């Protein structure tokens, strides 16, 4: 229902894909179901994502420490699915300068965060060189959100 867009006016969630001038493709039910079940397993019942951001990381790419705070509903968790090359997830605190845990993420891993931890700082260390048996020299991360 919603996708992350950027233009001269800045960044925001939008119901229209600006490249096609049409609504985004529907979330595959299997993906929405996986996100719902992963959230429930982590204690967040009733998660119904309306957005899935897809980020591709090539070797060397990183994601600096940040908070996910562009979603209207911050009572809903974030569900993050990692595919392809392994990565190190940085799990910080409520302040940018808090110490970070380093969590290895491998193909198929799912991370859920929400509740009191919903706005924790987090990021991804620079991806190491390599090639994944299925996806080749890349990592793909899906994050499911309740954005609207
Ligand atoms: C990850 N991704 O790739 C963590 N945040 O493991 C994120 O923290 C993230 O993929 C905001 C927007 C897109 C993302
Ligand atoms: Fe994030």
pLDDT at 56: 97
| Best residue among 3, 58, 63, 109 to mutate for probing ligand 1, ranked by most atoms within 8 Å of CB | 63
Structural domain of residue 126, as residue ranges?
28-145
Is the shortest distance between the CB of 124 and ligand 1 below 6 Å?
yes
Q: Report if residue 100 sits inside a domain.
A: yes
Residue 8 belongs to a domain? no
Residue 15 inside a domain? The answer is no
| Domain contains 23 | no
21: in domain: no
Whole-number pLDDT of residue 73: 85
Ligand 1 within 6 A of CB of 53: yes
- Which residue's CA is the nearest one to ligand 1's atom 7? 123
Asked whether the beta carbons of 121 and 23 are under 8 A apart, the reply is: no
CB count within 10 Å of CB 113 equals 18
Cβ of 52 less than 6 Å from ligand 1: no
- The CATH number covering residue 47 comes to 2.60.120.590
**For residue 74, what pLDDT is reported?**
83
Q: Is 143 in the pocket of ligand 1 (CB under 6 A)?
A: yes
Question: What's the pLDDT at 140?
Answer: 98
CA–centroid distance, 101 to ligand 2, in Å, is 15
Q: What is the pLDDT of residues 55-85, one digit of tens each?
A: 999 999 999 999 999 999 889 999 999 999 9
Query: What is the value of pTM for the model shown?
Result: 0.96
List all residues 6 or more positions away from 106 whose beta carbon is below 8 Å from its beta carbon. 82, 86
Domain-located, residue 3? no
Interior/surface letters 59-78, b for 16+ CB within 10 angstroms, e for the rest = eeeebebeebeebeebebbb
**Residue ranges for the chain with pLDDT beneath 70:** none
| CA–CA distance, 51 with 38 (Å, rounded to integer) | 16
Is the CB–ligand 1 distance for residue 145 below 6 Å? no
Spacing, Cα 4 to ligand 1 middle (Å): 12
Does residue 22 belong to any structural domain of this protein?
no
Q: How many structural domains is the chain composed of?
A: 1
Q: Is residue 112 part of a domain?
A: yes
């Amino acid at each position: 229902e919603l996708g992350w867009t950027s233009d001269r006016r800045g960044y925001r969630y939008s119901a229209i894909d600006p490249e096609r001038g049409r609504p985004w493709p529907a979330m595959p039910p299997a993906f929405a179901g996986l996100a719902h079940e992963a959230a429930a397993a982590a204690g967040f019942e009733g998660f119904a994502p309306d957005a899935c951001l897809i980020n591709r990381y090539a070797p060397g790419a990183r994601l600096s420490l940040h908070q996910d705070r562009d979603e209207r509903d911050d009572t809903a968790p974030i569900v993050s699915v990692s595919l392809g090359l392994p990565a190190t997830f940085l799990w910080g605190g409520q302040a940018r300068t808090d110490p970070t845990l380093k969590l290895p993420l491998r193909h198929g891993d799912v991370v859920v965060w929400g509740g009191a931890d919903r706005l924790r700082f987090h990021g991804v260390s620079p991806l190491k060189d390599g090639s994944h048996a299925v996806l080749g020299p890349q990592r793909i991360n899906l994050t499911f959100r309740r954005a609207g």
